[in-house]
């Protein structure tokens, strides 16, 4: 596994640098912006995830001997460009929506201020991380809201690529999931891990009873027993007979869940296992979780749906040049005019506006001096909050965005900002974004 992240990119980024160096325009000061034109799947809000991973990846975006040798062998860059790449280290500023924050169409999730050459190199890296992680976090957040306070575990490792499984667990945790089945996510990111036994463990033994005895003997009566390998009602009875009324939990992975859960709860109570919890799995998504809201389910395990963004595996984010300096050194706003792909040029700052009840009302984007600039000419007597924060200044990482501490801060932030959203944001139906985006 290579430690450099410099090749997690597309060839045309290097050829643009090559041509810009030759033309003398590579070092023009520029502003790139990462945003989504719309919310995938007609979601009511999006969730920013992956920022911490991106910042760490930028620190490792260096062209070492191995990378440079391969580029030389491909013979598509000038020697001067290879020399420039050999000394590359991002030295600009990055502002953005902090991880765990919510976003809406047009929200400038990441603002990169640097020379053109430095900024353009980060395009694919930024998009690949934020598109995937934010899609998972957005789906996970909807599931958390549908669960209405009951814990969810991420268990989708077998439904995506091996390293995608690790980053998906991280994103789901930021959005409010309580645990993951993935051990690497536990080791790398500090996500709590969980898991006990699958149907194969029951089938290994001569009887369900023997399987339950073996599991309880090793893991204790607080374990979770899988009760639907054969007959569910008999599975409940056998589980309580083996583990006693202090059995931790039973897991259901099949059947008409609302009906089955109600019967299992009734049977557990009849047998005296009133504190034994019920967890359900069985290909859940936000809609099935919501459908079980009136059932006596204590926790959920979600696999495929969360790691693939529940039908929206990418957020459709793009990375565009929105401003640059001209030959005179003055800033010039630039924008695409392509049909259905237009962008809004100019350096921007963002304020979220709240109503008298403390609920978010509008995402207000100001064109002017950029993230750190003053907001002038607009009445901001209403309660408001600045959204963009500095993440890198002069190429130096700012504290609070990376590592396990950054993940925990992002998790806390997400819980706080979702609580600020209007009630319509919690709707699972397709519709308009919960907040309007206004440009000033």
pLDDT tens-digit profile of 238-266? 999 999 999 999 999 999 999 999 999 99
| Neighbouring-strand partners of residue 218 | none
Identify which has the larger pLDDT, 130 or 328.
130
Instruction: Please give the mean pLDDT across all residues of the chain.
Output: 95
Q: What angle do CA 130, 192, 146 make, to 5 degrees?
A: 65
Instruction: For each of the domains in the chain, give its residue range(s) and CATH number, in order of start.
Output: 11-136+312-439 (3.20.140.10), 196-297 (3.20.20.70)
Q: What is the pLDDT of residue 86?
A: 98
Tens of pLDDT along 173-203? 999 999 999 999 999 999 999 999 999 999 9
Tens of pLDDT along 336-371? 777 776 788 888 999 999 999 999 999 999 987 767
| Neighbouring-strand partners of residue 277 | 249
Q: What is the pLDDT of residue 149?
A: 95
Q: Is the pLDDT of residue 374 over 70?
A: no
- How many Cβ atoms are within 10 Å of 428's Cβ, its own excluded? 17
Mean pLDDT of 290-304: 96
Tens of pLDDT along 90-102? 999 999 999 999 9
Q: Does pTM surpass 0.75?
A: yes
Spell out the residues 6+ positions from residue 127 whose beta carbon is closer than 8 angstroms to its own: 34, 317, 318, 319
Residue 307 · residue 295 · CB < 8 Å: no
Residue 439 · residue 367 · CB < 8 Å: yes
Q: What is the pLDDT of residue 1?
A: 52
Query: pLDDT-based confidence at 214, cuts 50/70/90?
Result: very high
Q: Is the pLDDT of residue 376 over 60?
A: no
């Amino acid at each position: 596994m290579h430690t450099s992240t410099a090749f997690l990119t597309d060839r045309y980024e290097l050829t643009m640098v090559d041509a810009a160096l030759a033309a003398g325009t590579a070092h023009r000061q520029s502003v790139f912006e990462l945003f989504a034109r719309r919310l995938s799947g007609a979601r009511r809000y999006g969730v920013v995830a992956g920022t911490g991973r991106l910042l760490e990846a930028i620190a490792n975006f260096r062209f070492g001997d191995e990378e440079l040798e391969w580029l030389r062998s491909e013979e598509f860059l000038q020697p001067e460009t290879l020399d420039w790449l050999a000394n590359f280290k991002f030295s600009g500023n990055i502002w953005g929506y902090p991880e765990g924050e919510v976003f809406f169409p047009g929200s400038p999730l990441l603002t990169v201020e640097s020379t053109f050459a430095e900024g353009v190199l980060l395009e694919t890296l930024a998009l690949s991380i934020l598109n995937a992680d934010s899609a998972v976090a957005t789906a996970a957040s909807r599931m958390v809201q549908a669960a209405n306070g009951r814990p969810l575990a991420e268990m989708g490792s077998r439904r995506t690529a091996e390293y995608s499984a690790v980053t998906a667990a991280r994103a789901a945790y930021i959005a409010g999931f309580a645990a993951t089945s993935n051990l690497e996510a536990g080791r790398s990111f500090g996500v709590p891990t969980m898991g006990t036994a699958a149907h194969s463990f029951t089938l290994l033994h001569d009887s369900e009873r023997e399987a339950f005895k073996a599991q309880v003997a090793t893991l204790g009566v607080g374990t979770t027993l899988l009760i639907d390998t054969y007959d569910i009602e008999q599975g409940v009875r056998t589980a309580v007979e083996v583990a006693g009324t202090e059995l931790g939990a039973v897991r259901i992975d099949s059947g008409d869940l609302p009906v089955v859960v109600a019967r299992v709860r009734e049977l557990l109570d009849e047998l005296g296992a009133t504190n034994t919890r019920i967890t359900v799995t069985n290909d859940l998504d936000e809609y099935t979780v919501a459908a079980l809201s009136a059932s006596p389910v204590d926790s959920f395990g979600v696999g495929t749906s969360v790691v693939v963004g529940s039908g929206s595996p990418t957020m459709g984010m793009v990375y565009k040049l929105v401003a640059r300096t001209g030959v005179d050194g003055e800033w010039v706003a630039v924008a695409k005019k392509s049909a259905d792909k237009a962008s809004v040029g100019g350096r921007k700052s963002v304020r979220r506006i709240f109503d008298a009840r403390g609920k978010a009302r509008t995402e207000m984007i100001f064109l002017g001096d950029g993230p750190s600039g003053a907001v002038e000419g607009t009445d901001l007597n209403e309660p408001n909050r600045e959204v963009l924060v500095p993440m890198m200044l002069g190429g130096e990482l700012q504290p609070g965005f990376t590592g396990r501490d950054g993940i925990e801060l992002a998790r806390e932030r997400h819980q706080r900002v979702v609580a600020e959203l209007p009630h319509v944001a919690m709707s699972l139906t397709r519709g308009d974004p919960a907040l309007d985006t206004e440009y000033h």
